[in-house]
Amino acid sequence: MDYPPGALESPPFLIVISGPSGVGKDSVVRCMKERGLPFHFVVTATSRAQRAGEVHGRDYYFVTRQEFERMIAADELLEHALVYNEHKGIPKAHVRQALASGKDVVLRIDVQGAETVRRLCPEALLIFLSTVSDEELIDRLRARKTETPDGLALRIATAREELAHLGNFDYLVFNPTGRLDEAVDAIVSIIEAEHHRVHPRRVSL
């Protein structure tokens, strides 16, 4: 039997998990890691301060604002953005090394960064993570108690703006409170299904 060219191949994907602040991106990625899923997770670099419980090199690469600006000037980042007055970005070298390993590569980035990745790499798989309601998102942001009132208001306003960009993504996954495993199951199912496409995604950077 003759199959179409590429139908028997499944190259590694570049998978972006994105969504507004407070939807649970960190929790989803942490759960994926705990399950031992066969993905390579690329850690985001940020200039923001390290929060309690966060580990350098696991949750983020925490660098100074001066170091981040040097990385921008040296064109070392796949994408970067100023988010809530702090820099965030993905080192290019880390992504290339991860893809070369033959594993699917997972990036956890904000909506602005996801759209940049889409422009640079149209074949990337973009998944938008969301709460089931505006009220649930606001409750989560308030419960974190990591923001000033002005900071909280900014995050809520930004989240509402980011929802308008949903159409730029491939899939929408809801992450209701207390149902994290279901959200992760949905993401894994999406990735597995994508690996069965007749015309596979081919990532080039």
Helix or strand run (H / E) with residue 27: helix 25-34
* Burial class of 138 by CB neighbour count within 10 A (0 to 12, 13 to 18, 19+): middle
Do residues 20 and 162 touch, judged by C-beta distance below 8 A?
A: yes
Exposed / middle / buried, residue 77 (Cβ in 10 Å: 0-12, 13-18, 19+): buried
Query: Which amino acids are annotated catalytic?
Result: 51, 144, 155
Nearest residue to 28 via CA among 40, 13, 42, 18? 18
Task: Classify burial at 147, counting beta carbons within 10 Å of its beta carbon; exposed 0-12, middle 13-18, buried 19 or more.
Answer: middle
How long is the chain? 205
Beta carbons of 20 and 154 less than 8 angstroms apart: no
Cα–chain center distance at 135: 23
